[in-house]
Amino acid sequence: MLVPVLLAGGSGTRLWPLSREARPKQFLAVTDGESLLQGAIERATRIEGVGDPLVVGREAHRFMIAEHMRRAGVDGRVILEPAARNTAPAVAVAALEALARDDDAMLLVLPSDHVIGDAGRFATAVAAGREAAAQGLLVTFGVEPTRPETGYGYIRAGAPVAGDTCRIEAFVEKPDEATARSYLDAGGYYWNSGMFLFPAGAYLAALATHAPDILEAARAAHEGATRDADFLRLDAEAFAACRSESIDYAVMEKTRDAAVVPLSATWSDLGSWSALAEVLPADADGNVARGDVLLEDTRDSVVYSDGRLIATLGVRDQVIVETTDAVLVADRGREQEIKTLVRRLEAAGRSEASEHRKVYRPWGSYESIASGDRFQVKRIIVSPGGRLSLQMHHHRAEHWVVVQGTAKVTRGDEEMLLTEDQSTYIPLGTTHRLENPGNIDLILIEVQSGGYLGEDDIVRLDDVYGRADKG
């Protein structure tokens, strides 16, 4: 059985401020109406002969992962990493989980935040990869380069194996432009896509040879894991003890059994705003604009509005991105340095580094729309069937006003139904719960008042989502 393994643990900071740690790019619909994760799941599960996917992601993102799997219409298991340890350990635990169910499992390992433009060519490459992997080879997919790209690593192909599949002669780090151009002129070089296909057992055997410490830690984390519905929670101590390493460094650059299958399709890892611009349509002046944007005498720029109007005049080679709480203006030649800005925000303790103003929860979302001394106003959306935890607060009272849908409210010993234009008051210290029993989104305005309004002022008494964390 071919098992798709979707790697969904990345932070996507190079697409800040749109992508942030709390909701990175794999959960965003940056190119069309579906998220990158949803697109990756659908693309993988359309391939003939594949099983249910395994998604490897972070504990904090578990409900977003589950929701995007639901949207993609698939069942599957979610392996939760207690710490970020790169791709080699993540795929090791996925291999162990797949082998626990099928001794002959083969893994199709895919990042969840890439764009592939031709699903048919991708499926053809996967079929070629399966043939090579059936011979015990560890296969990666090399994208046929279309330009002298300096932002990608390269793979140099060696002796042919079968068809267009070749042994890997060398992995090459990101080159300068002249070197990248020489690769295109020479031929036989491919962009390193970070996608793999191999028998699960063969990968673990390679780890045992080249990185036995990673295999040992992954095995301990898997053996000590706990299962909760569709979530597999790895043993935190064992997994945290594992060193962080990529598949390339841990295995592919060391094994003699590595092969590359060419992939001739539009592909991008969306590693920068310019990379995103390459997969979106541009106007006659080379601009890529999304959202409420007005351009005048503007060329070769990326302008992305997440809400408010952006108007530009006399702009050249810029990246301009607007969200509700941050605006980025950067020279396109320096966009790889956006990470530096994020690190400075983190060092300053700024929430904009990692969190959006709109926060997603398993029951829906909330967004702060106004705040001041001793008050905060939020817009809360509860999905149909959504149910907040039964909780109370030590430091704040709350007023709720329903603006759409029907709310089932628990307040102390009372239960009531509220519809549009109706409201209720939750005194400080009162046990309460909010539910949506209807078929449309419940939208309400919450006004908080009190001496402390932090999200950690929640005493959770009961929660249908099994959360022990805040929110």
Question: Which CATH number do you get for residue 257?
Answer: 3.90.550.10
Q: What are phi and psi of 277, to 5 degrees?
A: -60, -30
Q: Please, what is the Cα angle at 230 between 440 and 65, to 5 degrees?
A: 55
pLDDT in tens, 22-53: 999 999 988 878 899 999 999 999 998 898 99
Sign, Cα dihedral of 354, 396, 429, 367: negative
Provide the domain limits for residue 432.
358-462
Q: What is the pLDDT of residue 468?
A: 62
Task: Pick out the chain residues at pLDDT < 50.
Answer: 469-471
| Residue 250 and residue 334 in one domain | no
CA distances from 284 to 40, 289, 291, 313 (A): 31, 12, 18, 16
Residues 338 and 379 occupy one common structural domain? no
Angle at 355 between CA 89 and CA 62, to 5 degrees: 45
Residues 303 and 407 in one domain: no
pLDDT in tens, 358-399: 888 889 999 999 999 999 999 999 999 999 999 999 999 999
Query: In terms of domains, do 342 and 363 share one?
Result: no
Query: What pLDDT score was predicted for residue 470?
Result: 43
In this structure, are residues 439 and 452 in contact, taking their beta carbons and an 8 Å threshold?
A: no
CATH number at residue 427: 2.60.120.10
Residues 196 and 167 placed together within one structural domain of the fold:
yes
Domain count, the chain: 3
Q: Which tokens in the block code for residue 413?
A: 């010993």
Q: Which residue intervals of 279-384 are DSSP H helices?
A: 338-347
Which residue from 166, 112, 381 is spatially nearest to 156, judged by alpha carbons?
Answer: 166
pTM of the model as a whole: 0.87
Tell me: do 302 and 436 sit in the same domain: no
